[in-house]
Chain A
Amino acid sequence: MERTDDRLREQRLFSVTAGSPLDPMAMIRSALDQWEKLANEHGAQFLQRPETTKALQSMTAGYLQMQAMVHDTMGKALAAANLPSRKDVEALSARLGAIEASLARIEAGRNPQTNSGALPRPPRTRKPPPRS
């Protein structure tokens, strides 16, 4: 209760003095709001230009090309070292996932009321409150 009173007092003081022309903090906050609005508008206009998109996607294409080269190089190095590649690990992960899915199906088939189904639930008889 005391905390609520303190907060209300703070808010009253904030609102009473915030609009005062002598409140530099309020001016700074207002300036921040306006800067954000303008910067977002100008930023959106800039980013929506086709030239901007072309430039950004060119950078993405460059990054992807570099990634592909690194994949190839690493793949060859791993093969030479007789170590599993990323593809091998992904295949293992896929097989594990398939095994997990099979286990889940088996468990669900053996015990349909697993997990929350086994917990007692309230009766499904609720009606909406009368409209006022």
Chain B
Amino acid sequence: MSEEAGLLERSRREFERALQRNIKGLGYFNSPAPVVGASAKDVLIERGTLRLYHYRPLADEIYRVPVLLVMATTNRGYIFDLTPGQSLVEYLLMRGYDVFMIDWEAPRPDEKSLDMASYVLDFIPTCVARVKQTTGEPEVSVLGYCFGGVLSLLWAALHPDAGLKNLATFTTPVDFKQMPLFATWSDKRYFDVDRLVDTLGNCPSEMLYSSFDALRPASRVAANLRLADRMWDDEFVKAHRMIDRWGTDILPLAGEYFRDTTKKLLWDNALMAGTMEVAGRPVDLANITAPFLHVTAEHDHIVPTAASAPLIDMVGSADKEQVTLKGGHVSLIGGPNAVRRMWPKLDDWLAEKSL
């Protein structure tokens, strides 16, 4: 009897959901995109592809040392600030950090001449200087995500006297040969990066989007089928739309910067080979001596563990730590479980070092 009752209840529920799918499915295509990145902020620098934001405080008292988030150049920084309740920026602000962010806009066609040096020797130092000027503090904690972490590492190694108080990187690769798909697709025998950059200028966002998508070729179809199945669930749909929007909001890469990244990192794997240089200046990560934290994701399909594992031994800091947490490349930072996993770990590590 109870099994029959369960079967009836299940049937009733599935019928209700089928109705909701149809009704809400129509509404889905008519409704506006979810609002993301809405934490109140001021724009300190707006220069071509570069943006520096300063977030308005949410606490009555803040830590002395400001925090500068460095976003990867392929995507938008609102993954740090998806929505109230699911925002690393909001989390840090509420815990009393003074938060800044380096974010990016699509480089203009004339910005195709921007190279690695532009980001490491101009953009980041300019932003760090501006943070120090705005806060009146001589030191800054830098948190870099994915390739934002690579840029942060290069900057830190080349500017040992820049006032770096703490450095944290999230899912940051150093051994690019351990990213097998990217390494294969950029094989210098077949991939003529010079021709691409000389012809197109900036690397188109469509090409980068296809590359990321191809890492899990079936997942987009599966995600849309799950969306159709869960169309009745407003919270699921909202979460899907935010992450899907961010995942498709890929930026083009400045031409010379793309050429530099491909040749030095994907072809030469220069960080591992010890031959990395920026504008002729050799990079040695052992020059980084500030307290260092590297957080990796257990199920990272973009930066596998092997690609980021050597980093902890390359950095010269005495106080350094690497942790691997549950989650994927994106959910580690901006997923609904990040508030229980990565964010408290970061707060726990950073708070006492921000005095």
Contacts and interface: CB of A to CB of B under 8 A. Distances in A.
Interface of A: 10, 13, 16-17, 20, 22-23, 25, 29, 32-33, 35-36, 39-40, 43-44, 47-50, 53-54, 56-58, 60-61, 64, 67-68, 71, 86, 89-91, 93-94, 97, 100-101, 104, 112, 114-117, 119, 121-129
Nearest to B6: A17
Interface in B119-145: 133-135, 137
11 contacts: A16-B6, A17-B6, A25-B229, A47-B184, A50-B190, A53-B191, A56-B185, A60-B191, A112-B133, A122-B57, A123-B61
Given A35-B218, A116-B54, A125-B61, A91 B14 contact: no
A57 B186 CA distance: 9
Give 10 closest A-B pairs by Cβ, nearest first: A39-B218, A43-B217, A128-B351, A94-B110, A116-B42, A36-B222, A57-B190, A116-B54, A90-B110, A126-B96
B46 to A, nearest CB: 8
B256 interface: no
A12 to B, nearest CB: 11
A43 B217 CA distance: 6
Chain B: number of interface residues, binned into ranges: 35 or more
Nearest to A125: B61
Contacts, number: 150
Interface of B: 6-7, 9-10, 13-14, 42-48, 54, 56-57, 59-64, 96, 98, 108-111, 133-135, 137, 180-181, 184-185, 187, 189-192, 195-196, 199-201, 207, 214-219, 221-222, 225-226, 229, 351-352, 354-355
Nearest to A112: B133
